[in-house]
């Protein structure tokens, strides 16, 4: 039986330093699309070690980083000392009413209780602000990439599958966009990334070792075929903006 969602959501803290080292950041184009023009203060929910927080800070924004796992927050504080951090979940934000221009969640919204997270986002947003969500996922093109993606039990070829299907916002209040990018990884680096995924953390050790061995062999083969020490692994970021009606 798989672990309950709440337990899986905090399992990343078991290896917070590894998560920070091997998880990717997000393409500039995707972040720029999510950030409202003229925004000054934003919230990052399920901020983890600050993969999105750092990109927001780099754009001159004040960031309220909200994360339920104190182990992840400890890393975020060290890596991004200018962020304001809050040890809390998305369902009970320790933020004032109408205090932020945007609320973001990157690869995290599917962990939240939908109704309460929506209510909290609506509460803390200033008039005209929006909720911005993003998910990064493999988008395999080459046959070896498809084999590689299939080794991840959580891989889903469609955005609605990867997001857990919990984005039922009114169509007239919602915009979506998809941004493609290529992540260059060595075989060892790709396997280190896989070990940060909840499915791999929870996997029985023999199965994990075998899947990592297969992944290493696939990326190694791609590297040998094209020459460099890294292989380009195609990804896409699915983004959603929801601007609540008054």
The answer to whether residue 145 is domain-embedded is no
CA 228 to chain centroid, in Å, comes to 28
Q: Is residue 69 in some structural domain?
A: yes
For residue 113, what are the CA distances in angstroms to 14, 116, 217, 236? Answer: 22, 6, 38, 25
Count of domains observed in the chain:
1
* List of residues 6+ apart from 151 with CB closer than 8 A: 194, 211, 214, 215, 218
Whether 198 maps to a domain, the answer reads no
For residue 172, the model assigns a pLDDT of 86
Mean pLDDT computed over 24-30: 97
**pLDDT higher than 60, residue 5:** no
The pLDDT, as a whole number, for residue 166 is 53
Is there a domain that residue 212 lies in? no
Q: In this model, does residue 162 exceed pLDDT 60?
A: no
pLDDT surpassing 70 at residue 1: no
Query: Where in the sequence is the domain holding 76, given as residue range(s)?
Result: 5-140+157-184+235-242
Give the number of residues written for the chain: 246
CA torsion sign for 161, 162, 168, 172 is negative
**Is the residue at 167 inside a domain?**
yes
Q: Any idea what the CATH number is for the domain that residue 72 is in?
A: 3.40.50.150
| 221 found inside a domain | no
pLDDT digits (tens, 9 = 90+) for 76-130: 999 999 999 999 999 999 999 999 999 999 999 989 999 999 999 999 999 999 9
Domain assignment of residue 172, yes or no? yes
Distance set, CA 235 to CA 74, 99, 179 (Å): 29, 34, 8
């Amino acid at each position: 039986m798989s672990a309950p969602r709440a337990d899986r959501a905090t399992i990343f803290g078991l290896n917070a330093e590894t998560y920070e080292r091997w998880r990717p950041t997000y393409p500039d184009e995707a972040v720029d699309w999510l950030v409202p023009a003229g925004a000054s203060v934003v919230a990052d929910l399920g901020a983890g070690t600050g993969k999105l927080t750092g990109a927001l800070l780099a754009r001159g924004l004040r960031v309220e980083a909200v994360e339920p796992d104190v182990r992840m927050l400890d890393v975020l504080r060290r890596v991004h000392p200018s962020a304001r951090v809050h040890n809390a979940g998305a369902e009970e934000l320790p933020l004032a009413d109408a205090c932020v221009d945007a609320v973001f969640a990157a690869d995290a919204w599917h962990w939240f209780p939908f109704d309460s997270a929506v209510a909290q986002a609506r509460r803390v947003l200033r008039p005209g602000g929006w909720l911005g969500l993003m998910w990064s996922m493999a988008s395999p093109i080459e046959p070896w990439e498809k084999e590689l993606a299939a080794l991840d039990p959580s891989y889903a070829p469609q955005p609605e599958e990867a997001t857990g299907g919990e984005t039922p916002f009114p169509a007239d209040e919602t915009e979506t966009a998809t941004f493609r990018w290529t992540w260059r990884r060595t075989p060892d680096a790709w396997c280190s990334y896989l070990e940060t995924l909840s499915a791999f953390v929870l996997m029985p050790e023999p199965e994990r070792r075998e899947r990592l061995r297969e992944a290493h062999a696939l990326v190694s083969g791609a590297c040998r075929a094209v020459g460099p020490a890294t292989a380009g692994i195609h990804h896409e970021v699915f983004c959603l903006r929801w601007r609540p009606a008054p």
